[in-house]
Structure 1
Amino acid sequence: MSHSTTSRPLVLITGATRGIGRAIAEDLAPDHDLLLAGRDSAALEELARELPDARALVADLTDEQAVGAALEQAGLLAPDARLDAVVHSAGVLVPGTIEELTAGEWTRSFALNVVAVATLTRALLPALRAARGTVVTLNSGAGWNAGAAGGAYAASKFALRALTDALREEEREHGVRVSSVHPGRVDTDMQHELVAFEGGQYDAERYLRPGSVAAAVRLVLTASEEASIDVVSVRPR
């Protein structure tokens, strides 16, 4: 990752209070300055107090105006703003068959998993270009394969993969690296939701630890200057 003018790179992480996002924040905290983004102000502030050099950035990521106001307040829209990386970890699971899912549920899946990623990234591009920074999207195994009752989630992750691939080509000339990280099943709250929906028995030993995904994100962010780690797949053994 290219470094900003300070000695510690500045990284914005969405979905930072739970699961993979929290593991990424905890992993990066010792040697990065962090902006923790999301809508749960109490949880964000609590985590920011626990980590060194971390600040909360409170906004509903699906509300473009609210996100813009929060970025403005954080100084990320200023002409001299620099941001070393954004890690898009926020996401929502909308399970159900095509027969069951309503238009509103499809919209909810795409609003956070795709559109919010695009609009936040667009707002941050000047700061990312100034730092020759990195964009990381947390995708999924569902970004490659779709199964029964997972159409809305997989479709959003297929779309996120397309967004990430397009962004990588568009930003190459600006020196911004773009990476897509595809974890398999991870021991998180979302996994509990999915297993409950499937009617299965939860066994944490079958799944990745969030810290294993955080390690993959660190690899992407700390790749040497001439290297871009475009796609990473992390699977349970």
Structure 2
Amino acid sequence: MKTMVVGASKGLGKALMEGLGEHGDSLIGVSRSRPSALQLREGVDVQWIEADLGDPLTAVGKIAQQAAETGLDTLIYNLGIWEDRAFDDSYDFLADDEDQLQAIVSCNVTAPILLIKRLLPVLLRSDRPRIILTGSTSGLTQSGRPEVTFGASKFALRGMADALREGYREQRLGVTCLNLGYLNTADPLSTPREHAAQNGGGEQIPVHDVVQVVRMALSLSAASFVKEITLPAILDPHF
């Protein structure tokens, strides 16, 4: 299996690079720069594309060119940015910087649309084409979150997933949206899961759990797919 992880240099993206794949599989990481150290699974081939999705048109051309040469079975779009004061009691929509709001929409909405459009012909050549979009519980109805632009961008990802499923059902394209709550990205995959789960006092999800969910979704046969998963922290009062 050939899997591309966009936003792969740190946090959840790095954990996906380190936790996915079996012997003989290929992983393609995409980020502005390659991380200095990765603890990879044995027998997994890793390639890297240095591209900045802050400039979507330039980046998607570079990524699509390499994907066309190597082939692709799964695209995981894990890149996302948010407002400076998001998830803080001081957040105020009226105080948001408008240039930053444009950048959020470009990275979280425009970039995945353009990238999927370019990569879809390559993906559809696979016997089991899959797209996984890293969404957020902020993109769910009545999420309880006030961050306007970030929330809107995550709503948009769910819309993309729905439309792609409708448009390419006959080609057996499976599209999954992961609605994730607050993540503990401070503890990498090398940290014992039990220790990582304790940090955050029940209000943060260890990246280990997300990797396990993604591995499950990718292990299914071509006859089924995971449409949507909501994964909040156990003490998230909104769920």
TM-score by length of 1: 0.81
The higher relative CO (CA closer than 8 Å, separation ≥ 6) is in 1
Do residues 65 (structure 1) and 65 (structure 2) align? no
Specify which of 206, 209, 212 is matched with residue 212 of structure 1: 209
**Retained in 2: the 8 A contact 1:77–1:123?**
no
Consecutive unaligned residues of structure 1, counting only runs of 5 or more, are: 1-8, 190-201
Q: Which residue of 64, 68, 79 maps to 1:77?
A: 68
**How many angstroms apart in 2 are the aligned matches of 1:148 and 1:71?**
35
CA distance in 1 between partners of 2:64 and 2:71 (Å): 12
* Residue number in structure 1 paired with 2:129: 133
Residues 73 and 123, structure 2, Cα contact 8 Å, conserved in 1:
yes
1:147 and 1:236 map into 2 onto residues whose CA distance is 14
Q: What residue number does 2:164 align with?
A: 167
User: Are positions 1:152 and 2:145 aligned together?
Assistant: no
Alignment-derived partner of residue 79 in structure 2: 90
Equivalent residue number for residue 98 of structure 2: 103
- Measure, in 2, the Cα distance between the counterparts of 1:104 and 1:147: 25
Cα distance in 1 for residues equivalent to 2:95 and 2:37: 38
Look up the SS of the partner of 1:57 in the other structure. strand
1:40 aligned residue:
33
Report SS of the residue matched to 2:175.
strand
Counterpart contact for 2:53–2:111, Cα < 8 Å: yes
Q: CA offset at residue 20 of structure 1? A: 1.4
CA distance in 2, matches of 1:120, 1:153: 19
1:23–1:126: structure 2 CA closer, same or farther, 3 Å change rule?
same
- Judging by fraction of residues, say which structure has more helix: 1
**Aligned amino acid, residue 223 of structure 1:** L
Q: Which runs of 4+ in 1 moved over 6 A?
A: none
Q: Distance in 1 between matches of 2:63 and 2:132?
A: 20
Measured in 2, the distance between the counterparts of 1:170 and 1:62 equals: 27
Over the aligned positions, Cα root-mean-square deviation in angstroms equals: 2.1
> How far off is 1:40 after superposition?
1.9
Equivalence for 1:3: none
CA distance in 1, matches of 2:201, 2:18: 20
User: CA shift at 1:231, angstroms?
Assistant: 0.5
| Deviations 1:157-201 (CA, angstroms, capped at 9, x unpaired) | 011111111111112122211111111111126xxxxxxxxxxxx
- Percent identity (aligned): 26
The CA deviation at 1:146 is 4.6
Matched position secondary structure for 2:176:
strand
Q: TM-score, normalised by structure 2?
A: 0.80
* Shift in CA distance, 14/204, structure 1 to aligned 2, threshold 3 Å: farther
Q: Counterpart in 1 of 2:118? A: 123
CA change 1:62–1:149 in 2 (3 A) is same
- Quote the offset at 1:214 in angstroms: 1.1
Q: Is the 8 A contact 1:87 1:138 kept in 2?
A: yes
Q: Report the alpha carbon displacement of residue 56 of structure 1 after superposing the two structures with TM.
A: 0.7
